[in-house]
Structure 1
Amino acid sequence: MTEHDQEHDESQEWIAGKHPVMEAIRSGREINKLWIAEQAQKNAAPIVAEAKKAGIIVQFADKRKLDQMVGGVNHQGVVAQAAAYRYYEIDEILEDARKNGEMPFLLLLDEIEDPHNLGSILRTAECTGVHGVIIPKRRSASLTATVSKISAGAVEYVPVARITNMAQTIDKLKEAGIWIAGADVGASQDMFVSKTSFDMPLAIVIGNESKGIGRLIKEKCDFLIKLPMNGRLNSLNASVAAGVLMYEVVRQRQSR
């Protein structure tokens, strides 16, 4: 198998960057091999030490070889080849929340296509204790080297479920006692976040960067919420809006 073929092998994933690779090693992720750019040996010494402790093969190569492996991702002289990211089942995510005695808190991403947005959302989700992020299999960014890099390694700790049908998934979550809140700029004035209680088993739907939440998905939400807009623009970047909403849930739950 050539290196080009390896890059498109669905059983393998590339992890790029010092922080994402270190978090992957620490999380116990199955890593097949680690490449260090010869120019970055000194700065990557802690990663090499961690890798050798975990029994991971370390190879030194020219930076240009690493560039080819991850195609444009800023790898900082560190690239790992790992087993493909594991996607979780929704039942697993809910069970983990209940085992910890916590009210489930999920994010449903309705066709978030920009990997930078997905990476940023996962990073904030890890910081705010979100139990899981749910993405569709089609028309959506998936877990890649770019997403891992932007998430600063959070992709190793936040369970991600990949589903075929978002509407059916919402029905399943409702049956499990989860309330569905849709983030929508068209939400009524009296549903500003500051007036909405999130002290419940909750899943927040974040819509596509340009189109927002799809009509069918919006109709399936139990209620719609929006953030106050005092400027001339009427919308926030998807990952920023998601971040504000996640921290509002944290604020309310901590005050309880």
Structure 2
Amino acid sequence: MEKRTNRPPRPLTERRQFFDSENRPVPNRRPAPREREQEGRADEGRFEGSRSEEGRYEGSRAEAGRYEGSRSDKPRYPHRPAQDRSIDMIFGLRPILEALNAGRTLDKIFLLRGTKNSMTQDITALAKTANIPVSMVPVEKLDGITRKNHQGAVAYVSPIEYMPLDSILAGLYEEGKTPLLLVLDRITDVRNFGSIARNAECMGVHAIVVPSRGAAQVNGDALKTSAGALNLIPVCREPNLKDTLTFLRESGVQVVACTEKSDASLEAGTVDLTGPLAILMGSEEDGISPEYLRLADHKLRIPMAGQISSLNVSVASGIMLYEVLRQRLVKQ
């Protein structure tokens, strides 16, 4: 008895769609039988050199497989994440747990939402002790980060070691130095963060303070943009900037916020920036959080003569830090 199906018959001459190295569709054209006989089957894989009279393709042997006629041709999938650099990531619950037990510095940890077992509880507890942010995310988020078998857990490895702020501040006072700190509120752009770190190192900043959540990831791009400054200047990751600013004020450090909402201008010189100081810079979108502005001892704006009313945060940080350095050099 003949088996019936509801599927329509497949065309006999069905053709696949191929793509080139830039993900552009390649016309489904095969050489005519006479052309193939002239070129010879032994020469099908050779496409080196310039275009020949017979119409051979240009390019190297590696590019030959991108054209029609090769059975290894496969369409490219641009929506899939790029190949990971394993040196920057750790996959799987057990490797992440072992990394935490070994004291490795992790930047962020992503766990699959809804996963609850003893291992995830241990990871969460150790991460909280080490002040490492943990996010419970859906599987689509993890698949977007990597195409490897992540097993519901991905962690970014930090290329730098975060330092405790209290020990740095105590060490500066013991050495007789005047502390100069830079506090960043929700600076999320990696290249902006790298540029700010470069400005800070050049202007003599002793440490950069960032929140544990809502801050730019310190990765290879940040290190490159900083021109190596992130390997020289300490970075402190604090769980609560409000408590951090309160701690700085109680430790004798003056907190000065850079905001365009202030009436006091930087060039007026009304604020003495030569003592223990922490410069507070806000995010690229909405500036400094109001709760942090209320904790600032002084608020200063950078004077501008153009029509655009705001500066890039990395440029603004350089201007603020230059004024601090100028006042300190004049005082010497």
Relative to the length of structure 2, the TM-score reads 0.53
Amino acid at match of 1:174: R
Which has more strand, going by share of residues? 1
How many pairs are equivalent?
187
- Separation of aligned partners in 2, 1:143 and 1:104: 24
Give me the whole-angstrom Cα distance separating, in 2, the residues matched to 1:146 and 1:84.
11
- Mark the structure with the bigger radius of gyration: 2
Residue 243 of structure 1 corresponds to 318
Q: Distance between the aligned counterparts of 1:173 and 1:136, measured in 2?
A: 15
> 2:178 aligns to what?
103
CA distance in structure 2 between the partners assigned to 1:90 and 1:232 by the alignment: 39
Letter in 2 for 1:147: A
Structure 1 vs Structure 2 CA RMSD: 2.2
Q: CA deviation at 1:91?
A: 1.4
- Equivalent positions of 1:1-256 (< 5 A) are 5-9=86-90, 11=104, 84-188=159-263, 190-195=264-269, 196-256=271-331
| Structure 1 unaligned blocks of 5 or more | 14-70, 72-81
Aligned-pair CA distance for 1:239: 0.4
Equivalent-residue separation in structure 1 for 2:275 and 2:265 (angstroms): 16
User: Given that residues 182 and 278 in structure 2 are in contact (C-alpha distance below 8 angstroms), is that contact kept between their aligned partners in structure 1?
Assistant: yes
Q: CA separation of 1:229/1:158 partners in 2, compared to 1, >3 Å: closer, same or farther?
A: same
For the residues of structure 2 that align with 1:12 and 1:159, how far apart are their CA atoms?
14
Q: How far has the Cα of 1:240 moved from its partner?
A: 0.3
Q: Which structure has the highest helix share of the two?
A: 1
User: In the TM superposition, what is the alpha-carbon distance from 1:83 to its structure 2 partner?
Assistant: 7.6
Quote how far apart the aligned CAs of 1:101 are: 2.0
- What TM-score comes out, normalization by structure 1 length? 0.68
* Equivalent AA in structure 1 for residue 180 of structure 2: F
Kindly provide the amino acid, as one letter, of the partner of residue 266 in structure 2: F
Give the partner amino acid of 1:186. K
Mapped partners of 1:96, 1:186: distance in 2: 34
Q: Deviations over 1:125-174 (max 9, x none)?
A: 11111010000011110321111000011111100000111111000111
Task: Tell me which amino acid in the other structure corresponds to 1:249.
Answer: V
The Cα offsets for residues 185-232 of structure 1, whole Å up to 9 and x where unpaired, read as: 0101x3434423201110010000010000101111111011101110
Distance 1:212 1:4, change over 3 A: same
What percentage of residue pairs aligned between the two structures are identical? Answer: 34
CA contact (8 A) 1:110 1:213 kept: yes
Q: Distance in 2 between matches of 1:193 and 1:94?
A: 28
SS in 1 for 2:294: helix
Would you identify which runs of 4 or more consecutive aligned residues in structure 1 move more than 4 Å?
A: 2-6
Tell whether the 8 Å contact from 1:193 to 1:225 is kept in structure 2 after alignment. Answer: no
Tell me how far 1:7 sits from its aligned partner. Answer: 3.1
CA deviation string 1:61-117 (max 9, x = no partner): xxxxxxxxxx9xxxxxxxxxx984110111122133224422110000000010111
Q: How far did 1:4 drift?
A: 5.3
Maintained 8 Å contact 1:6/1:12: no
Counterpart secondary structure, 1:248: helix
Deviates more, 1:123-132 or 1:92-101: 92-101
Does the Cα contact within 8 Å between 2:88 and 2:158 map onto a contact in 1?
A: no
Q: Which has the higher contact order (CA 8 A, sep 6+)?
A: 1
